[in-house]
Amino acid sequence: SKDFVKGLTVADGLNGSGLRVLIVHTRWNLPIVEPLVQGAVNTMKSLGVSESDIVIRQVPGSFELPFATQTLLASAKAAGRPFDAAIPIGVLIKGSTMHFEYIADAASHGIMRVGLEAGIPVIFGLLTCLTEDQALERAGVGKGASKGHNHGEDWGMGAVEMSLLAKK
Ligand SMILES: O=c1[nH]c(NC[C@H](O)[C@H](O)[C@H](O)CO)c([N+](=O)[O-])c(=O)[nH]1
């Protein structure tokens, strides 16, 4: 039976073999970012993507994700080893100032623009949470009994699906 997670169903026939995927993740909120990265990697490997075709790089925070994704996609293409998709991963947790809103807005618009301009699917791997507990649950490491659902898995699946869509 297909996993049904809030409107997300597993697309049929997702074969990721031969795809190259870039993951750029933040060091901010790393204890939550790490399980998200692992969830994306494990899901992509389960869909046939080779571990050696998954390149993982890191940046300080979410505000740096658009630039890093843009420049790494461009340099891989220039080197003749283009990526089929990119998954920028960051966790924004609302603090006591408006910093969160400005970064969340800038990073989300930036990430969207990078994908459209590069013509390469860029998955929205940003958690924008009001509390740390919300973020932990969405990384599948919640403190409650359920532990939540690791959204990194959805992002890995989306990267494979969108790569195949772009190749058709
Ligand atoms: O990834 C994050 N970066 C954050 N700030 C750093 C920002 O992304 C940049 O790295 C920094 O402003 C330097 O450019 C965060 N907060 O400030 O709350 C946050 O929650 N998450």
Looking at residue 1, its pLDDT comes to: 37
pLDDT for 3 beyond 80? no
Q: CB neighbours (10 Å) of residue 116?
A: 11
Q: Rounded to the nearest whole angstrom, what is the distance from the C-alpha of residue 163 to the centroid of ligand 1?
A: 29
Q: Are 138 and 35 in contact (CB under 8 A)?
A: no
Which is it for the CA torsion 60, 95, 41, 18, positive or negative? negative
Ligand 1 in reach of 103 Cβ (< 6 A)? yes
Ligand 1, atom 20, lies closest to the CA of 92
- Quote the ipTM score: 0.97
CA neighbor of 89 nearest in space, from 67, 121, 71, 62: 62
Establish whether 149 is a catalytic residue.
no
Q: Rounded to the nearest whole angstrom, what is the distance from the C-alpha of residue 124 to the centroid of ligand 1?
A: 16
Query: 166: phi > 0 → left, psi -120 to 50 → alpha, else beta; which?
Result: alpha
Looking at residue 73, its pLDDT comes to: 98
